Chain A
C-alpha cells in the first residue's frame, strides 16, 4: 500500500477533521526532529500557518514529526528554509489523516506548586516565584538534559524546550511549558 493509499484509506474510514482531508496541504519530512523544530519556529516566525504533526506509519522511523503546510506556498517556504540551510527530505501532498499532537493539558494544584501535564511530560513550578522545581515523565534522552538545564530557574530565565530539545518528548515539554506560562499569567 502506498503512502497515498494509506492516507486516503484512513480518511475514508475514520471521518477525520476537514483540515486534514484538504488537498491544499502538504507535509515536509526532515532528517531529524531537531530540524523539524527549527523549521517550525522559522516558518511561524515568517508568518506561515504551519503545524507539527505525526507522520503516517510508512515513513515512521522512531521519534518523528512532520510539518503540515499550505502547498501553495511550497516554493516560498523552501526558499526560506534554504536560506537557513535546511531542506526537507521530501514533500508529500496530504489527502487524509496525519496524527494530531496532544492538545489536552492536565493541571494539578498542589497549593504552593502547580503541575501541568502534556502527554507524558510534567512540569511543576512554584507559583509565587515561578521557579521550575521539577520536570517529570518522558522517555527520550533529551529530557534529563532539559531538566538539568531548566530546573531551578524561573520561567523567564529557563531555556525554552524547543530551543534546546530535540525529540517528541521535548516537544511535549514545550507544550507543558507554554501552558504553565499561560496559567501563571492568568
Chain B
C-alpha cells in the first residue's frame, strides 16, 4: 500500500490518517472533505485518480494542517515515527512538510528498522530536508523541478533559497545539474526532473527524456509537479519498474495538460480532471 505524508493548507485541520478517496472533485478521508488545490491534496487527487483507473486500493494518507508555522509538520513527523513500525507500507511518499533536520533523522532511524524496507519517494519540503541532512541517497526517487534540481546540484545550499547564482544560471543544462547532484551525493537513486523536458536519471546518467506533448504553460501552473509525484507513486506501488512508472507518469501528466488546454491561468483541478483519459491513452501506447 502507498502512504502519503503531507500537509493541508489550513491551521485547523487536525492530524488524521486513513484512506483517501475522491468524491466528485474533493478528497474525502472518512467524513472529512479536503478541497483539492495545489500541494499534497493535488498529489493525493492525482494518486486517487490513477489508483481508480488501475483498479488499485485508494492511497493511505497521513495529513495535518500547516500554513507554514511548522507545528503541524512537527506533529506529523512524530506520527510517522509512531505508525511506521505497525504498518507495512510498500511505498511512502513524503511531501509538503516543514524541513526539520532532527525529526527527519528520527524518521530515517525508524525506517532503517523496517523489513521489508519501503520504497521511499520525496518531493517538496521533505526532499529539501533529506538533502539538507546529507541523506538523499537513502531515497529511491526525488521529483524536483528545475529550480529544485539546481538546489540539489549546489552542494552548499541548505535550501533552494540559497542556491548560488552560477548554478541557477545552468538551468538550460539539466544534464550537468543532474551529474553535479549525483557527484555530490545529493540525489536519490532516481531523479524525475519536471520541466520543459522531463528527465528520468540515475547515477549512471539520463535514462529517459520526454518533451511531448509540449505544454510550456504547465510550468506556471501550481500543482503540476504534485500531480506527477502522485501518479508515479501509485504506479511504482502497483509494481511497475521505476523506468516504466516514470515514463507513464511523465507522459500522462503532459497529456492531461494538453487535454485541459492549459494556459498559465489554468488551475490544477482542470488538469486533474483529465488524468483518467490521459492515463488510459498512455497505457495503451506503453509496451
Contacts and interface: CB of A to CB of B under 8 A. Distances in A.
Contacts of B161: 54, 101-102, 119-120, 168-169, 171-172
B128 to A, nearest CB: 5
The number of chain A residues touching the other chain, given as a range, is 35 or more
Contact of A147 (B38, B124, B171): B38
A86 B267 CA distance: 39
Majority DSSP secondary structure for residues of A touching B: mixed
B278 to A, nearest CB: 20
Contact of B39 (A99, A103, A113, A143): A143
Contact of B123 (A139, A140, A148): A139
A62 B162 contact: no
Contacts of B97: 141
Nearest to A131: B265
Contacts, number: 191
Contact of B67 (A108, A151, A166): A166
Nearest to A125: B264
B81 interface: no
B67 A54 contact: no
A121 to B, nearest CB: 8
B145 A120 contact: yes
A89 interface: no
Contacts of B129: 62
Contact of B165 (A57, A103, A115): A103
Interface of B: 7-10, 37-41, 66-70, 72-73, 96-102, 123-129, 132, 145, 147-148, 151, 156-165, 168-169, 171, 216-217, 219-225, 263-267
Interface of A: 32, 34, 54, 57, 60-64, 99-104, 106, 108, 110, 112-113, 115, 117, 119-122, 124, 126, 133-148, 151, 165-172
Which 9 A-B pairs have CB atoms at the shortest separation, nearest pair first?
A142-B68, A139-B124, A144-B39, A166-B68, A120-B160, A133-B265, A145-B9, A144-B9, A62-B99
6 contacts: A32-B69, A54-B161, A101-B162, A120-B161, A140-B125, A141-B72
